[in-house]
Amino acid sequence: MTTIKVVIGDRLGKGQKVGLGVEAAGGSVTVIPGMAADMKLGDVMHQEQADFGISFCGSGGAGAITAQTKYGYKARYGMRSVEEGVTAINEGCNVLGFGFMDKEELGQKLVEAFIKKHHG
């Protein structure tokens, strides 16, 4: 089975807990370092040929919209819950924009949903 590649970009340089959840579900993760990392999400996803990316900022939108605009990724943003993210994966989105939610459960559930949809 192929490993699911996930990129995380967080406005405050966080995302490590979500990354642990990605790994717990069997995915591989790149957490972009530094402030304003959400704005680099599309570039790093493109470079690494990631399966999907997660952007975190106050509004849950800026990095996701930038990735969608620059690379044509299907994005959903402004999300505030794990369930919204799972629904977005099920609807074929590969860039997910959230308000700040650095929780392991989020990374794990998103990878599980992606595997079920694309490799199930």
For residue 1, pLDDT over 70 is answered with no
- pLDDT tens for 2-14 read 799 999 999 998 9
**Region 78-89: what's the mean pLDDT?**
97
What percent of the chain clears pLDDT 90, i.e. is strictly above it? 90
d(CA 25, CA 19): 10
Domains in the chain: ranges and CATH = 5-113 (3.40.1400.10)
- Position 85 scores a pLDDT of 97
pLDDT at residue 120, as a whole number:
78
Per-residue b or e along 60-98, where b marks 16 or more CB atoms closer than 10 Å to that residue's CB: bbbbbbbbbeebebebbbebeebeebbebbeeebbbbbb
**Residue 33, number of CB atoms within 10 A of its CB:** 11
29-33, 80-84, 98-102, range with the lowest pLDDT: 98-102
